[in-house]
Chain A
């Protein structure tokens, strides 16, 4: 039997604000869309605000009416992404099998880690404490033998809950719940099911399989399986789905000098490549995005002859694109990305065009990455970038997650 945890952060945005701002702690707080605008809504309310009935999606005036002492604060997505990254770092200390599902939730498969962290519930407790201690953030953890039930379990007790829900418990604990509490049941499906007298998850489980697949097609299959607590999907680390790495910088002012832009490109390429290497990839396709002062954006890509691993090779390709397509316009944003990834397996096709041995170059890159991992990004720099300093956007890839 597997042991899968679902870690769900409680009131994530509000908790992040409280984590870095002590005066917000234990007070009714709401992260809101736009406090100045009258039509702003509550994005996340802290548990102290929820006591008064403040909910996500509520207009501000209504929240204020329910809870006159409520504090409104605008969202700081960079902070949330940063915190999210830290949480994932903590989770990967417990098991390599971590699958992030959104900015504030993830599954972690801890099967076979008993000798390290004790029983699954001890491990869950351990993780919850660790996140609270190092980041000052509360979370609820669901524990089960598959992803579906783990996620259902984490919903049961909030905040700061640890709930175990095993397949054996579903008749007593899952089936009495209303059908809309099941993952995959939205409003439309709920209404259709209600029409046929299906109100609880138990009702759904007792509905014939054929009936469900006739009515909902492939979804019907999953509804039936889920109602029986069956979910065979593995916890799949996110890098397995990685298709590309990229980053971009909006420049402090419009750049019009080739050398200046060149440095930005090198800076970005370095960051993108080191992230790519960290995850064990090499890439065959590079893309460059340029946005000019009129906000006209263009992206150009090219496929390379062979998979590339070193910053130098990728940089040379990006510069080829730049020199081909830059016609002197003033640049406001530069973006670099790599795709067509392949696992780096230390087999390097030798090349006679380079002055420096390709293998040596790759080893230099690996060495630089090691130094940076240990001593930080600034510990070793390219001479041409000595005077260049931009703020690294923390984890650009996370922007794909929908801020709820």
Chain B
């Protein structure tokens, strides 16, 4: 294999596929980046077997071929090469990387040992805009459960039908829902694992994305870059049933103001988990936090309709939801101090955040 490629292009490609590579692996070949040169294109692949990232860049292919190079050293080399172009020449088990007068001679793995790109027998698929998918993921990913006791919750549900897309993540203590109308046909119901979601937010840009699904695999096709992922198997939780139908207190709050207040409250915190107490009294909301080190309180002017209420939350859960909202004003709904808080838009149903409170001893 012999190629000549723009350093900048190579850096971008390496940054994309490198995240697919697991740092903890028992198979040394998986620490490598697969590189294949053919038809004026260089294809690069990084995989941890669950997640595979494939990307293509244009290059001058002098001699076709394939190789696998250790990802850490390859990334570092590409990052520091001095010239505009890099010349890579592979013969047997060693690669020569040249840029200007810099020359690296490093050993490679046998490309035949590299796992094949998953063969996805497409059963169905849809097309949507990349930035829509990205905003749906970013608006829900923080609620994905990290707890292995419920494996199906270690990912987000993506459901598409009737030109409506919905994404749901929940960990038992809170739930995040994003809805968006999309154009085009097709329906879909998959649970995407956390790692794939996380990489997608990094890779998604603008333009269309093609999502194809087989039994337990999905491919996210963004043109130059493809993400293959294993899907989580099993039935996702019946999330609709969790949303309470009743409410007693409804209020409208300025998103920026309450986020700032909660951030201040979080300064009084232990182990990133601050308990905040919200006391609603007419159009006034008092936010309090307390631990061995000190006490915080702040008042907010809100628009409220309903009886007074005193309720405690893990401030991080409130903050993560509120930070994901772009609207200037949000609606918050409550029923009692042991029922969930619902955060949703003043009009429409583009998002819904449900957060369960913390029950204090004095409540019982």
Contacts and interface: CB of A to CB of B under 8 A. Distances in A.
A400 interface: no
| Ranked 4 nearest A-B pairs via Cβ | A346-B361, A353-B172, A350-B356, A305-B147
B80 interface: no
B247 interface: no
A219 B338 CA distance: 55
A317 interface: yes
B357 interface: yes
Given A304-B147, A305-B145, A349-B173, 16 more contacts: A302-B147, A303-B146, A305-B172, A306-B173, A317-B149, A321-B148, A324-B148, A348-B359, A349-B314, A349-B356, A350-B338, A350-B359, A351-B356, A352-B172, A352-B242, A359-B364
B78 interface: no
Nearest to B171: A305
Given A352-B242, A359-B364, A347 B275 contact: yes
Q: Which of B147, B171, B175, B364 has its CB near the most chain A CB atoms (within 10 A)? A: B147
B154 to A, nearest CB: 11
Contacts of A352: 172, 175, 242, 340, 356
A214 interface: no
B73 interface: no
B148 A359 contact: no
B149 A351 contact: no
A306 B275 CA distance: 13
A157 to B, nearest CB: 42
A316 B172 CA distance: 15
A278 interface: no
A343 to B, nearest CB: 10
Interface string A347-378: 11111111000010000000000000000000
Interface residues of A, number: 22
A342 interface: yes
Interface in B291-336: 312, 314
A320 interface: yes
A305 B147 CA distance: 5
A288 to B, nearest CB: 12
A349 B171 contact: no
Interface of A: 302-306, 316-317, 320-321, 324, 342, 345-354, 359
Interface in B131-186: 145-150, 171-173, 175
B346 interface: no
Contacts of B145: 305
Given A342-B271, A352-B172, A353-B172, A305 B360 contact: no
B57 interface: no
Nearest to B175: A352
Nearest to B150: A353
Nearest to A316: B149
Given A303-B146, A304-B147, A324-B148, A351 B173 contact: yes
Contacts of B149: 304, 316-317, 320
A305 B272 CA distance: 13
B250 interface: no
B287 to A, nearest CB: 16
A320 B152 CA distance: 13
A175 to B, nearest CB: 42
A302 B360 CA distance: 27
B358 A350 contact: yes
A21 to B, nearest CB: 49
A328 to B, nearest CB: 20
A59 B289 CA distance: 64
A305 B149 CA distance: 10
A351 B172 CA distance: 5
B361 A347 contact: yes
B147 A347 contact: no
Interface string B213-245: 000000000000000000000000100001000
Contact of A347 (B148, B171, B338, B359): B359
Contacts of A348: 358-359
Nearest to B312: A347
Contacts of A324: 148
B309 to A, nearest CB: 15
B202 to A, nearest CB: 24
B334 to A, nearest CB: 13
Contacts of A345: 361
A392 B193 CA distance: 42
Nearest to A321: B148
Nearest to B314: A349
B120 to A, nearest CB: 27
A305 B145 CA distance: 7
A359 B145 CA distance: 21
A346 B357 contact: no
7 contacts: A304-B149, A305-B171, A347-B275, A347-B359, A351-B356, A352-B340, A353-B172
A347 B360 contact: yes
Nearest to A304: B147
